[in-house]
Structure 1
Amino acid sequence: MFRIRKEFHFSASHRLAHLPPDHQCARLHGHNYVVVVELAAETLNRDGFVRDYHDLAPLKAYIDGTFDHRHLDEVLGVPSTAENMARHFYDWCRARWPETSAVAVSETPKTWAEYRP
């Protein structure tokens, strides 16, 4: 199996209001997010790619226009956890690129959540 990954960045605020008031994530705060999309294929296309990285430009535009410097609680419609964001970005990517195999989201350099069906 061939796998490629591409990384995207954005900054946003959120608040996990369903958590107890003394939980740090219940307070308004922000992160510098990293989103990594992975695509996989058993064979390469005629150009020798799983998919041309340039084809992923719509994801950058979507992230920049919808998520960057936004309040995620107003964007997602579900609790703005890294897990829910990974699933959201996976579904968005899979609808456009059937080779999408996973999406990972990082809120900090030491924390990652991944959605992989």
Structure 2
Amino acid sequence: MFRISKEFHFSASHRLDHLAADHQCARLHGHNYIVVVELAAPDLNADGFVRDYHELAPLKAYLDGQFDHRHLNDVLDMPSTAENLARHLFDWCRARWPETSAVRVSETPKTWAEYRP
């Protein structure tokens, strides 16, 4: 299996309103998010790629237009956890690129959430 990945960045605020009021994530805060999309295929296309990285530009446009410098609670219709964001972005990518095999989301340099079916 061949695998490729590409990293994207955006900044946003959020609150996890469903947590106890004294939980730090229940307070308004922000992150510099890192998103990594992974694509996999058993064979390469005629150009020798899983998919040309340039074809992933719509993900950057989506992140910039819908998420960058936004309040995630206003964007997502679910709790704005890294796990839910990874699933949302996986579904968005998979609808465009069937080779999408995973999406990872980082909120901090030491934390990652991944959705991989």
Q: What band does the TM-score fall into relative to the shorter chain?
A: over 0.9
For residues 3 and 76 of structure 1, what CA distance do their matches in structure 2 show?
A: 29
Q: CA deviation at 1:59?
A: 0.3
Q: Determine helix, strand or coil for the equivalent of 1:43.
A: coil
Q: CA deviation at 1:100?
A: 0.1
Q: Determine helix, strand or coil for the equivalent of 2:87.
A: helix
Q: CA deviation at 1:107?
A: 0.2
Structure 1's consecutive aligned runs of 4 or more residues displaced over 6 angstroms after TM superposition are none
Letter in 1 for 2:96: R
Number of residue equivalences: 117
For residues 7 and 39 of structure 1, what CA distance do their matches in structure 2 show?
A: 12
Q: Determine helix, strand or coil for the equivalent of 1:60.
A: helix
Q: TM-score, normalised by structure 2?
A: 1.00
For residues 54 and 23 of structure 1, what CA distance do their matches in structure 2 show?
A: 41
For residues 68 and 41 of structure 2, what CA distance do their matches in structure 1 show?
A: 30
Q: CA deviation at 1:46?
A: 0.2
Considering only aligned residues, what root-mean-square deviation do their CA atoms show, in Å? Answer: 0.2
Letter in 2 for 1:69: H
Q: TM-score, normalised by structure 1?
A: 1.00
Letter in 2 for 1:34: I
1:54-102 residue CA offsets vs partner (Å, 9 max, x unmatched):
0000000000000000000000110000000000000000000000000
Q: Determine helix, strand or coil for the equivalent of 1:68.
A: coil
For residues 99 and 21 of structure 2, what CA distance do their matches in structure 1 show?
A: 41
